């Protein structure tokens, strides 16, 4: 349906940031193409995909920007944040370090983006509950202290992935 694909009411630039290996690229491909890659390579620089989202009243074209979490790529620069209306900060529930680094990512978003940018904390890899290093309680507490949304997801089994993108789009 070409006409549907090209007609939209709003274009939203949404960022995915977080440490390397937390699953940003797979969250994106799960949402945009419903696929998952067990051996996905680290993102180099910045890539983006688009998806049309129907939030009831409006048709949104979401432009989803995926960055390299590896510091050596230095992908997250001020210009990356320009025009962003939403940001997912992703950590891996099996990596306490990736959760500790959320503070760093949050500070970057707050420093460089518009004050109205909606921020969503994502604890990914919920399918690996047996390897969990970050409790839901701690993440919920952090999210409420910082006034941001929170959800655990699994790019592998798809749980809460679409829901999180829809919630963020509705909030924007």
Chain residues binding ligand GTP by CB under 6 A are 20-26, 37-40, 42-43, 68-70, 124-125, 127-128, 154-156
User: To the nearest whole angstrom, how small is the minimum distance from the Cβ of residue 16 to ligand GTP?
Assistant: 8
Beta-bridge partners for 29: none
CA dist 4 and 89 (Å) reads 30
Q: CB 68: neighbour CB atoms within 10 A?
A: 20
CA dist 44 and 68 (Å) reads 5
Beta-bridge partners for 86: 14, 118
User: To the nearest whole angstrom, how small is the minimum distance from the Cβ of residue 84 to ligand GTP?
Assistant: 17
Beta-bridge partners for 65: 15, 48
User: To the nearest whole angstrom, how small is the minimum distance from the Cβ of residue 68 to ligand GTP?
Assistant: 5
Q: Rank residues 60 and 76 by Cβ distance to ligand GTP and give the closer one.
A: 76
Q: How does strand 84-92 pair with strand 118-124? A: parallel
Q: Rank residues 98 and 113 by Cβ distance to ligand GTP and give the closer one.
A: 98
**In whole angstroms, how far apart are CA 28 and each of 31, 48, 112, 150?**
5, 9, 22, 17
Q: Rank residues 52 and 156 by Cβ distance to ligand GTP and give the closer one.
A: 156
Q: Rank residues 156 and 172 by Cβ distance to ligand GTP and give the closer one.
A: 156
User: To the nearest whole angstrom, how small is the minimum distance from the Cβ of residue 77 to ligand GTP?
Assistant: 15
Q: Rank residues 11 and 131 by Cβ distance to ligand GTP and give the closer one.
A: 131
User: To the nearest whole angstrom, how small is the minimum distance from the Cβ of residue 140 to ligand GTP?
Assistant: 19
């Amino acid at each position: 349906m070409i006409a549907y694909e090209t007609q939209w009411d709003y274009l939203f630039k949404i960022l995915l940031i977080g440490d390397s290996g937390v699953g940003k690229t797979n969250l994106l491909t799960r949402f945009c193409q419903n696929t998952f890659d067990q051996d996905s390579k680290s993102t180099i620089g910045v890539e983006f995909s688009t998806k049309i989202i129907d939030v009831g009243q409006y048709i949104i074209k979401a432009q989803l920007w995926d960055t390299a979490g590896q510091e050596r790529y230095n992908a997250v620069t001020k210009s990356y944040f320009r025009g962003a209306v939403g940001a997912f900060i992703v950590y891996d529930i099996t990596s306490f370090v990736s959760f500790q680094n959320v503070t760093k990512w949050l500070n970057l978003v707050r420093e460089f983006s518009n004050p109205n940018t909606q921020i969503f904390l994502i604890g990914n890899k919920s399918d690996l509950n047996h390897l969990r290093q970050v409790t839901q309680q701690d993440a919920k507490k952090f999210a409420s202290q910082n006034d941001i949304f929170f959800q655990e997801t699994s790019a592998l089994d798809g749980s809460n992935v679409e829901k999180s993108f829809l919630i963020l789009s509705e909030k924007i």
